[in-house]
Amino acid sequence: MKTTIHDTPEAIGDHLAGRILTETRAANAAGRAYVLGCPGGRSPMPVYEALERQLAAAPVDCSRLVIAMMDEYLLSDGDGLIPPPASAHYSCRGFGEREIVGRINRALPENLRMPVENFRMPTIVEPEAYDAELAALGGIDLFLLASGAGDGHIAFNPPGSARDSRSRIVALAEQTRRDNLATFPDFAGIEEVPAHGITIGIGSIAALSKAVAMIVWGDGKREAFRRLSSADSYDPRWPATILAECRNGELHADAAAGARP
């Protein structure tokens, strides 16, 4: 696993956005799709912001780009579980449509934009089908990853998740829900954070990704950096340590997260 400490979160974003666009150009030249795995939330935002800036400065054909989201909240409707509307402030679908696809397409002329059908998410009807869908695309070229600050959750996989877990519906750990109060500050309290979600699995990330880039930045991610940088195998107590078992794994931190204690 390669570890790189950048000066700032913005530097992480510029580095990874440049890589994504270089690899997208190469995929275009080969006549194939480029599949980018994406989390929502604060950690990857510098990358999404940098993609918009770099595409505005030097447009790249994103018509074959596929965005594969990691997860989505689920709400109880009395009869079962349903995803929230995309307009909800915490909706992962809404985040992806606004902050990833929206930024990419806003920067590009119409003929180079990513089509809406290239935006993929796991579905509640058949969660396990997401793995097969991504495999049929040839796998994920680069999966951007993030670690929960308090419990090391990755996507919505809670501590204790099996190494071979696949895309599925899960109950969210209480610490995950508390971490997400900061991720989505419009939540008034933990009672407003949904208690269930649909998530790509731990095993799915490892099996389907050709390369992964874990992003941690800020003082609050020092413990995450410590655990991730020292991991040599998957530790279910901190699920983000699956990074250590992924092909072509990279850990990207800023100076604050990577500071020595």
Residue 261 in any domain: the answer is: no
pLDDT of residue 89: 94
Q: Is residue 259 part of a domain?
A: no
On whether residue 9 sits in a domain, the answer given is yes
Q: Could you tell me if residue 185 is inside a domain?
A: yes
User: How large is the average pLDDT for residues 209-222?
Assistant: 97
In this structure, is residue 60 part of a structural domain? yes
Q: Which of 260, 254, 202 is nearest to 7 (CA)?
A: 254
pLDDT higher than threshold 80 for residue 260: no
Q: What are phi and psi of 87, to 5 degrees?
A: -75, -15
Q: How many domains does the chain have?
A: 1
Query: What domain range is 92 assigned to?
Result: 2-254
**Strands in the chain per DSSP E:** 2-6, 34-38, 65-69, 71-76, 81-82, 119-120, 142-146, 168-171, 196-199, 212-216, 249-254
Statement: residue 217 has pLDDT above 70: yes
> pLDDT tier at 261 (50, 70, 90 boundaries)?
low
Whether 221 is covered by a domain: the verdict is yes
Which residue from 99, 89, 90, 138 is spatially nearest to 119, judged by alpha carbons? 99
Task: Please give the order of strands across the beta sheet that includes 249-254.
Answer: 2-6, 249-254, 212-216, 142-146, 34-38, 65-69, 119-120
**Residue 243 domain flag:** yes
Q: Indicate whether 101 belongs to any domain.
A: yes
* Closest by CA position to 251, among listed 221, 126, 107: 221
Q: What is the CATH number of the domain that holds 142?
A: 3.40.50.1360
Residue 198: pLDDT band by 50, 70, 90 thresholds? very high
**What is the pTM for the complete model shown?**
0.96
